[in-house]
Amino acid sequence: MRFALFFAAMNAVYKFVLCVMRRFIKNDKVNAPIAGFLAGLMSQLDVKARRQFLLCLLLSRLTDTCYTMAEKHGLVRRHRYGEVALFVFASTSQQYAMGCE
């Protein structure tokens, strides 16, 4: 329940800051990073173990997104189930590193 409330609060802070900043600054290239930074500060309110778990999930998702973008731009050859294999590898290695800590 706390994890869901934490995500809801983080998303609410992001949307609130983004909407308020859009009234004053019309450039989303400036607004989005500032709103993201302030929403990221919400992670300091959560327990350290859950923050590490969230980081593990987000880093795995980041590697998947980077791989998909590299495929679309022609930097990486297309492999069948390549993004799934990369996501599983990244998730497993990060969870192993988190367990060794």
Residue 88 has pLDDT above 80, yes or no: yes
Burial letters for 35-55: b for 16+ Cβ neighbours within 10 Å, e otherwise? Answer: beebbeebeeebeeeeeeebe
Q: What is the mean pLDDT of the segment spanning 28-37?
A: 90
Residue 101's pLDDT band (boundaries 50, 70, 90)?
Answer: low
List the one residue out of 92, 99, 5, 96 whose CA is nearest residue 47.
5
Give whole-number Cα distances, 41 to 35, 64, 78, 93, in Å.
Answer: 10, 24, 37, 26
Going from N- to C-terminal start, the domains of the chain cover 1-46, 47-101
Residue 82's pLDDT band (boundaries 50, 70, 90)?
Answer: confident
